[in-house]
A and B are shown apart, each in its own frame.
Chain A
Amino acid sequence: MKLAARDREMLDGEHGEAARFAMSVVVRAAAAVGAETLLSVEQAHIDACALRSRSSLDLIGHLVEGGGRVSVSTTLSMVSLDLENWRYLGVGRDHAETALRIAGGYLALGCIPTWTCAPYQGYLAPRFGQHIAWGESNAVAYANSVLGARTNRYPDYLDICAAITGRVPYAGLHRDENRRGTFRVNIESGDPAQWASPVAWAALGSLVGRTVGERVPVLDGLPPERPSNDMLKAFGAAAASFGSVGLFHIVGVTPEAADLSTACGGRPPAETVAFSTEALCDAWAELSSAEAGEPVDAIVLGCPHASYAELEALVRAIASRSSPRVRSSVQLLVFASAPMVELARRGGLLEPLARFGATIVRDSCPFHVPVVMAEARVLMTDSAKCAYYAPGELDVRVAVGTLDACVDSAVTGEIRGGEPPWRVR
């Protein structure tokens, strides 16, 4: 492998043990994917801080003791704690202490305490064409597809090693030839009203994720209205959890897809599939394992972290209900980054949410911080990603619905809604 002089110095330990360790991991990861050279990145986003485990502590301890320091601007994904409010949320001290040690380690390396799985919503959103090293599958899909930045799906620990060395294997989605669309997905359902909710995009993402494998999907045939950032977030998060999509194109919407030919790099797509309305409705039904009318224990919103627009939409949905509060047997949990919660406070959104009985959780996610009550058996969400992971991680059955359906369910204590957004003719 061709290494620059500074890479070699790091590998030889001239910049300390942490840099040696990090460069060794980067070089071996390059060999694993068949890369012949390394590439410099301009920023990183670290997902390695999320898992609370002994090995996670061992690794960050080794990097801190080894004099590690990030060499590029580096933001942080979730930690397994709401760092300010964990005591009020009933998180145990043992859990908190481990999470705080991990968080402290990443801050000691010079990372920025953003603590969000949706870094594209805020500080240091990457630019078009910029090479970056991001972890967290939904963030990767968004950065590549919506922003046109270039990153692979960096696994935990390669992300922090890239941040320390500033180098990644020159492979995968950093290279022009791997960004071309190869799998055209033609959507037959073109009525704009049916695509007005982010959860419709999430269901589509789940179907695309299950279908495309390692190929790059190009979506075609959607209504001409431009989807919102939150719709693209929901789509990418679903495609990245039901499958391994790191880049998608939507013709006329995403920056590398002005038209079908451009999205496919000037050649016809290798494969085409058409998704009928029936297929979309089947994908919708597959998201849920609990049924309308069943009692619901917990409702999770903000997976990935809620945007300001989503918090506003929640407040509007609450205001339109005659019942003033979440039913006492139900938890309504809303996950967001601390900066977004501060914006919401300034916008007057927190007070109606608190009055309604919603609990805001910052810095973390329902799968990393134990805030969903242990007795919960049925969970409802507007997120296909949450619906994918909740059964295994939280031992619950799930129902997926629109934001309005989630609010209805919170008020009544039973699953409401559930009809797909599309109508079979």
Chain B
Amino acid sequence: MARTLNGRPIVPGTAQGIVLRSDRALSLWGGVDPETGRIIDRRHDRLGESIVGRILVLPAEKGSSTGSAVLLELIRAGKAPAAIVTFESAPIVAVGAIVAEELYGGSIPIVRLAFRDLASLRDGETVRVRAEGSIERIDR
């Protein structure tokens, strides 16, 4: 398995953390509690889990256009994931991350990966996200 996966930085940045992987699209609004960072969407396979500090790996975002506002609040409150990695374009979370940087001077990276690479990321493994959009697996 490749040690480094080459993605495209939708919003560039660096991060390190443990992968929280889902095979289902997620709407941050209605899907994540902005105060706790826990997944509250009853139809989601990771219901009840915390996204705080995790490398959130999803096939896609979906649903509400308020997802950007939820991500901004999560970043402000220190409850955001360390990074979000998706297969499809993710304009809603991208705007949340961009506005956080403009308003608070800090943000999280959003990376787009090829589907095969996305599927190769294992739940619970530790990875590092680099500014140019690559994702490096770290042995633990």
Q: Which residues of A contact B (CB under 8 A)?
A: 21, 24-25, 28-29, 32-33, 47-48, 50-51, 53-56, 58-59, 62, 135-137, 140, 152-159, 172, 209, 213-214, 240-244, 289, 367, 388-389, 391-393
Asked if A393 and B69 sit within 8 Å, CB to CB, the answer is no
- Shortest beta-carbon distance from A114 to chain B in Å: 17
Grouping DSSP codes into helix (H, G, I), strand (E, B) and loop, the A interface class, with mixed when no group exceeds half, is helix
Asked if A244 and B61 sit within 8 Å, CB to CB, the answer is yes
B131 at the interface (CB under 8 A from A): no
Asked if A157 and B61 sit within 8 Å, CB to CB, the answer is no
B113 at the interface (CB under 8 A from A): no
**Chain B CB within 10 A, most for which of A157, A159, A241:** A157
Q: Which residue of B lies closest to A391 (CB)?
A: B42
- Shortest beta-carbon distance from B90 to chain A in Å: 8
With known contacts A51-B73, A214-B89, A156–B68 Cβ distance under 8 A: yes
Asked if A137 and B65 sit within 8 Å, CB to CB, the answer is yes
- Shortest beta-carbon distance from A400 to chain B in Å: 14
Residue interface bits B79-111, CB-to-A below 8 A is 1, else 0: 000000000110110111011001110000010
B residues 46-69 in Cβ contact with A at 8 Å:
60-69
B residues 34-51 in Cβ contact with A at 8 Å:
34, 40-43
A-B interface contact total, Cβ < 8 Å? 135
Residue interface bits B20-45, CB-to-A below 8 A is 1, else 0: 00000101011100100000111100
Asked if A33 and B42 sit within 8 Å, CB to CB, the answer is no
B129 at the interface (CB under 8 A from A): no
Chain B residues, Cβ within 8 Å of A389: 30, 64
Asked if A241 and B64 sit within 8 Å, CB to CB, the answer is yes
Q: Among A21, A53, A172, point to the contact of B69 (Cβ < 8 A).
A: A53
With known contacts A25-B102, A157-B99, A367-B30, A47–B65 Cβ distance under 8 A: yes
- The 3 A-B pairs with the shortest beta carbon distances in the complex, nearest first, are A155-B68, A392-B40, A156-B69
Write 11 A-B pairs (CB below 8 A) sorted by A numbering. A29-B98, A32-B10, A53-B69, A156-B96, A157-B69, A158-B99, A213-B25, A241-B30, A241-B64, A244-B62, A392-B30
Asked if A157 and B91 sit within 8 Å, CB to CB, the answer is no
With known contacts A55-B76, A58-B76, A155-B96, A140–B69 Cβ distance under 8 A: no
- Shortest beta-carbon distance from A78 to chain B in Å: 10
With known contacts A25-B95, A155-B91, A136–B30 Cβ distance under 8 A: no
Q: Among A28, A157, A289, point to the contact of B72 (Cβ < 8 A).
A: A157
Asked if B10 and A59 sit within 8 Å, CB to CB, the answer is no
Chain A residues, Cβ within 8 Å of B67: 155-156
20 further interface pairs, Cβ-Cβ under 8 Å (given A53-B72, A153-B65): A29-B91, A32-B10, A32-B98, A51-B66, A53-B73, A54-B77, A55-B69, A55-B73, A137-B65, A152-B91, A155-B69, A156-B65, A156-B66, A172-B91, A209-B62, A213-B60, A214-B89, A242-B62, A389-B30, A391-B42
Q: Which residue of A lies closest to B10 (CB)?
A: A32
Asked if B91 and A136 sit within 8 Å, CB to CB, the answer is no
Asked if B40 and A135 sit within 8 Å, CB to CB, the answer is no
- Shortest beta-carbon distance from B101 to chain A in Å: 8
Chain A residues, Cβ within 8 Å of B60: 213-214, 244
Asked if A33 and B91 sit within 8 Å, CB to CB, the answer is yes
